[in-house]
A and B are shown apart, each in its own frame.
Chain A
Amino acid sequence: MDLNKQYTPRTWPDHPETATMEGKNKFVGFWLLLAAETVTFASLFATYLALKDKGPSGMELSASQLFELPLVFAMTMILLTSSLTSVYAMYHMKNHNFKAMQAWLGITVLLGATFLGLEIYEFNHYVHLGFGYTHSAFSAAFYTLVGTHGAHVLFGLCWFIALMLRNAKRGLNTYNAPKFFLVSLYWHFIDVVWVFIFTVVYLMGVIG
């Protein structure tokens, strides 16, 4: 396989992400990883549900006092939109439009970075209220769950940026198409996890 092979929209395969054996293997392997990640997050969700509002007696700052919906709503909308922009990127990837793909990936990265910025702001705010990692079993479970998701967002951003820079001059071919496709799958998975975080942690937290 020539790593710098050039294609035109006319010669570009219909499914470039699985056009090579390497691409096919990556695709299956990556879904195996996502299935394992589902279990990782499940154990963190289970810990959170078990330890929600638990801590030393007379503990202040329970979930219903702490969480505020407007910020979470904004974060949800931003991450959901970034999921759509990466779908747009893959649409242009399949049409072999490299520039448009890079542009949509860039927008995705900006939205993801905004999300991460809001999350850092939120954590910082809680810490100033006295809700640090060691405040209670509840705070430890909360920060571990939401923080692991945040770490995934950060990793995804680095992955996007690395691929965009490394392939900026190479253009799009069947060597790097699977790479772009997988990072967008990863990004959707992050959004899937967030759907459960905003439902189970924030919405069910506000209800009490």
Chain B
Amino acid sequence: MAHDEQTTERSQTEYEFLRRKRAEEMRGQLTSFAMMIFLTLIAFTAVAADFSPYLIVPIILLLAAVQVVLQLYHFMHLKEKGTGMIAFFMYSGMFVAFITILALVTIVWW
């Protein structure tokens, strides 16, 4: 590529501000990690506790969905600005994924 990118030197204040902002973001990431661990623990305990499958299956599927949202929006930065196109790709993929599973499962079960 022919064009050179511009590099600008930040002022000390700006640099410190960015570092602090990133450290805060990292604390947020730790919180979502703690939540993921917590959701996983609930899912495994619910199954080990031997409740009725009709109760457990919807609950653990919901917990999985919440955990995936945490991964996508926090760990994979979908909550940041300018990710509209990416979210569109991902939701289209999920939509086709849902139709695929629904179609195959209904063909076999009915």
B101 contacts A49, C-beta separation under 8 Å: yes
B1 contacts A31, C-beta separation under 8 Å: no
In the assembly, what is the distance between CA of A141 and CA of B61, in Å? 20
B9 contacts A11, C-beta separation under 8 Å: yes
B56 contacts A207, C-beta separation under 8 Å: yes
Selected from B75, B86, B108, B109, the residue in CB contact (under 8 A) with A87 is B75
User: Would you give the 0/1 interface string for A59-91, flagging 1 where the beta carbon is closer than 8 Å to chain B?
Assistant: 000000000010001001100100110011001
Selected from B22, B47, B64, B101, the residue in CB contact (under 8 A) with A207 is B47
| Given known contacts A32-B89, A204-B60, A50 and B104 CB-to-CB distance under 8 angstroms | yes
How many chain A residues have a CB neighbour from B under 8 Å? 58
The answer to whether A117 has its CB under 8 Å from any CB of chain B is no
Selected from B4, B56, B93, the residue in CB contact (under 8 A) with A39 is B93
Closest Cβ of chain B to A17, distance in Å, is: 9
In the assembly, what is the distance between CA of A198 and CA of B43, in Å? 10
In the assembly, what is the distance between CA of A19 and CA of B18, in Å? 16
Interface size band for B:
35 or more
B101 contacts A10, C-beta separation under 8 Å: no
Question: Which residues of chain A have C-beta atoms less than 8 A from B40's C-beta?
Answer: 76-77, 80, 198
B9 contacts A46, C-beta separation under 8 Å: no
In the assembly, what is the distance between CA of A196 and CA of B109, in Å? 21
Question: Which residues of chain A have C-beta atoms less than 8 A from B15's C-beta?
Answer: 9-10
Selected from B26, B48, B68, B105, the residue in CB contact (under 8 A) with A50 is B105
Q: Could you write out 19 A-B pairs with CB less than 8 Å apart?
A: A1-B1, A22-B1, A28-B86, A31-B86, A32-B89, A35-B93, A36-B93, A39-B97, A42-B96, A42-B101, A45-B101, A50-B105, A80-B36, A83-B71, A87-B33, A91-B22, A192-B72, A195-B67, A195-B71
User: Would you give the 0/1 interface string for A132-147, flagging 1 where the beta carbon is closer than 8 Å to chain B?
Assistant: 0000000000000000
Within 8 A of B (CB), among A69-126: 69, 73, 76-77, 80, 83-84, 87-88, 91, 94-95
In the assembly, what is the distance between CA of A35 and CA of B83, in Å? 14
A49 contacts B104, C-beta separation under 8 Å: yes
Question: Which residues of chain A have C-beta atoms less than 8 A from B109's C-beta?
Answer: 50
In the assembly, what is the distance between CA of A21 and CA of B5, in Å? 10
In the assembly, what is the distance between CA of A174 and CA of B5, in Å? 9
User: Would you give the 0/1 interface string for B24-50, flagging 1 where the beta carbon is closer than 8 Å to chain A?
Assistant: 011001100100110010011001100
Query: Which residue of chain A lies nearest to B18 when distances are taken between CB atoms in the complex?
Result: A14
Question: Which residues of chain A have C-beta atoms less than 8 A from B43's C-beta?
Answer: 198-199, 203
Query: Which residue of chain A lies nearest to B68 when distances are taken between CB atoms in the complex?
Result: A192
Closest Cβ of chain A to B87, distance in Å, is: 9
A1 contacts B22, C-beta separation under 8 Å: no
B93 contacts A10, C-beta separation under 8 Å: no
